[in-house]
Amino acid sequence: MRRRPPRGAPGSTTITVQAATDVFVLGAGFSHAVSKQMPLTDALGESLRNALIAGGWEHWLPESKFMGGYFEQWLSRLAEDQPDYDDAANAANRGLFETVSSVIHVALSRCQIETLGSGLCPDWLSTLVSEFHRRRNTVLTFNYDNLIEYAVLSSELMDLHPPKGERVRPRDILGDLPPPPAHPSRLAGPLAETFSLLKLHGSLNWYWSTGDITGATLNTWDLGGGFESWEQADEDERRRRLPGRVPFIVPPTATKSAYYRNPVTKEMWQRAAQALRHPRRVVLMGYSLPLTDLVFTSMLRENLPPGAEGLTAARFCLVNLDTKPVKEVLYKLGYDDSNIVREFSGENCIRDFAMSYPSDVPSPPSF
């Protein structure tokens, strides 16, 4: 088995990341908790069927419903050449993947608009984002939506590094990764001291030129407003400033594609790996930890190895509608019950965790 090189060894990368009390890993269940308008992963796949059939892709869709995480597997299989397909079939797959990415972007953007237009930012989300900020946590998300960013825009979060005293913006939590397009009126300036958001599978407001492994064409398009005052993006202006770019929607398990080989994405994943090396806890929130996501599960196991003792022992908090399947995956990865320190389950599990988090101070492990 290949071992991860020790820190400082040749071939390793040393990255300075703000230490966090907890590292959060957010899945589709998190966004669904914000609003039922935001679909779970397989439900998203099913919702795209009619649009894809209308586009002439009916014979490429599986006959059975997307269940058990199959939509992510199907999407990733489209994104890379497969050995059991000939060149023509692989080329068709790539064309279908670009179509699916565009349809995902349209569908989720519509769901997001409906969520933002439904009222104020939920109290529990404001509370949670404020705690992310206060504790300077690292938040890893596999969701494409911008609900965390809009929650920041709706909040009165101020730079934790005095005497700057400026409002925290999405660029601060994202660390300007990816960067915005060049604009003469936009001053880069220093980033505010706050929490870190790493969007490991892309974002609705990120665009690139398909296949660009240099990362030079990968840019973020600024968001405006907030939950109660969101602003519709100017698509004409976006296309003028980012001509020919398409949404950066990363296939979850396509590890060899340009989505993972460009330096911007690699930087985000390296920061995520660094954050996972010494967390006080890893909070799996609305994320089922699918074994098919080999990139993340392997990274988790290597950076937070099962069997470690003392202060290096893994400590998980599970926040999921049903925590049993998540525990079963952790067991398969080599962790055991001693690594699971807290659980929240049920319909309101994410809200319950968020509202209890301000008073929750993890105690050091006892051995």
pLDDT digits (tens, 9 = 90+) for 61-77: 988 899 888 888 888 88
Does 205 reside within a domain?
A: yes
- Rg for the chain (alpha carbons), in Å? 20
Does 69 reside within a domain?
A: no
pLDDT of 161 reads 79
Cβ atoms within 10 Å of 319's Cβ, excluding its own? 27
Under DSSP, the state recorded for 3 is P
Q: Which residues pair with 25 in a beta bridge?
A: 140, 284
pLDDT of 255 reads 62
* Residue 106 buriedness (CB in 10 A; 0-12 / 13-18 / 19+): middle
Specify the 3-state DSSP secondary structure of 293.
coil
Residues 191, 246, 49, CA angle at the centre, nearest 5°?
Answer: 120
pLDDT digits (tens, 9 = 90+) for 138-183: 999 999 999 999 999 998 899 987 766 788 999 999 999 999 887 6
pLDDT of 152 reads 95
Q: Could you give the number of structural domains in the chain?
A: 1
Does 59 reside within a domain?
A: no
Residues 151, 319, 304, CA angle at the centre, nearest 5°?
Answer: 100
Which span out of 54-63, 162-171, 221-230, 349-358 was modeled with the highest average pLDDT? 349-358
Which residues constitute the domain of residue 207? 22-39+118-359
pLDDT of 74 reads 87
Does 49 reside within a domain?
A: no
Q: How far apart are CA 71 and CA 69, in angstroms?
A: 6
pLDDT of 94 reads 86
Beta strands 246-249 and 281-285, pairing class: unpaired
Residue 186 identity (one-letter amino acid): R
* Residue matched to tokens 């960067």: 179
Q: What is the rounded average pLDDT of the residues 288-309?
A: 90
Does 77 reside within a domain?
A: no
Beta strands 219-220 and 202-208, pairing class: antiparallel
Q: Is the pTM of this model over 0.95?
A: no
Does 147 reside within a domain?
A: yes
pLDDT of 6 reads 45
